[in-house]
Amino acid sequence: MKILVTGGAGYIGSHTVIELQAAGHDVVVVDNLVNSSEIALKRVEKITGKEIPFYKVDIRDRESIDRVVHQFKFGCCIHFAGLKAVGESVFLPWEYYNNNITGTLVLLDVLKKNSCKNIIFSSSATVYGNPAVVPITEECPKGECTNPYGQTKSMLEQVMMDMQKADVVSSDPNPWNIVLLRYFNPIGAHKSGTIGENPNGVPNNLMPYITQVAVGKLERLGIFGCDYDTPDGTGVRDYIHVVDLARGHVKSLKAIEEKCGVEIFNLGTGVGYSVLDVVKAFEEENGVKVPYVIKERRAGDIAECYSDPSKAYEKLGWKAEYGIVEMCRDSWKWQKNNPNGFEE
């Protein structure tokens, strides 16, 4: 299938491009490079041995995005483009709503006008808020999002569901097919160690913080709280290897091909690890020390969040193959080989 990948130069997008090409799909990437580097795509080309048509386009720029969509006649769009820093979104709400909401609205309109009404959207487990029960199934109600970033994911899910519903109600002969993928906590990197997550400034997320401590860029990890109601008191999350996550997108094309209407899938492993579990696994697998200090709880954090990923297995035949050992190994390989990210 010919697939438009928005945000394809970013962390999850670049890994997904590899898996799409490996599965025989034709990929075109658009990205405005606000949080990524074209070097990532060059490295992907090296890994796959295939060229990636790339357009430096902001998805809010209707004319430019229309030109690309019109030219290629895509079978599906996989939509990663967006701003994603939870903490930053609290201080820059307008920028987050403008980029993520306006950008997606323009993209959806352009896709529709060009009769490409198939989309796979990067949503997040954050839409569940503080879950009443774990593991979280797709049936669990959405919860309160405590930050503008999370709001954009929740709102955009609703926008797309409403657009699909309108097509059904009006018996549109070419209705939308929409797959909403709720990612849990993606970490890890491609096994080559040449692409990976490259956060700007001091990382907010656990794994990039750990790897930057291990490589000597940061002194020690701060663990946000040790008094949660979890086995060791630290927060529990469902970490998923980014390559497994990428493959989840390839498998989701099956739902699109089967004209799914709207489908929601959790993409996680179903296993929860605490912060201390991750630190220990990282140290053991890589033979490096990660000094840490216990700090106050971080505002907005929840105790436990992990998925029931069985729907994706039943309907798409997808399940995560890698465990915490591979996640720690590959995150470290990327960081060790690229202490300054994509700077060459």
Among 22, 33, 155, 302, binds ligand NAD (CB under 6 A): 33
| Residue 208: both structure tokens together | 């990039």
- Applying the rule CB under 6 A, the residues between 143 and 202 that interact with ligand NAD are 183, 186
Helix (H) or strand (E) holding 38: helix 38-48
Residue with the shortest CB distance to ligand NAD: 10
Are 121 and 178 spatial neighbours (Cβ–Cβ below 8 Å)? yes
* Distance of alpha carbon 327 from alpha carbon 76, whole angstroms: 29
- Applying the rule CB under 6 A, the residues between 101 and 130 that interact with ligand NAD are 103, 122, 124
Task: Tell me if 80 contacts ligand UFG by CB under 6 A.
Answer: no
Q: Which does 290 bind (CB under 5 to 8 A by kind): ligand UFG, ligand NAD, none?
A: none
Q: Is 239 assigned a catalytic role?
A: no
Nearest approach in angstroms of CB 65 to ligand NAD is 8
**Nearest 10 degrees: CA dihedral of 266, 272, 276, 281?**
-90
Among 223, 253, 256, 327, binds ligand UFG (CB under 6 A): 223
Contacts of 282 (CB under 8 A, 6+ apart): 210, 214, 288, 290, 328, 331, 332
Residue closer to ligand UFG, measured from CB, 13 or 235: 235
Q: CA nearest 21: which of 54, 47, 39?
A: 47
Residue closer to ligand UFG, measured from CB, 84 or 241: 84
* Distance of alpha carbon 215 from alpha carbon 232, whole angstroms: 26
Among 199-207, 246-254, 312-320, 324-332, the segment contacting ligand UFG (CB under 6 A): 199-207
Q: CA nearest 145: which of 124, 163, 121?
A: 124
Task: Tell me if 214 contacts ligand UFG by CB under 6 A.
Answer: no
Among 8-16, 217-225, 279-287, 289-297, the segment contacting ligand NAD (CB under 6 A): 8-16
Q: CA nearest 324: which of 278, 257, 288, 287?
A: 278
* Distance of alpha carbon 334 from alpha carbon 129, whole angstroms: 31
Catalytic choice (11, 96, 128, 149): 149
Residues that bind ligand UFG (CB under 6 A): 84, 86, 124-126, 183-185, 204-206, 209, 221-224, 235, 237, 275, 298, 301
Among all residues, which ones are annotated catalytic?
A: 149
Residues that bind ligand NAD (CB under 6 A): 7, 9-13, 31-36, 58-60, 80-84, 99, 103, 122, 124, 183, 186
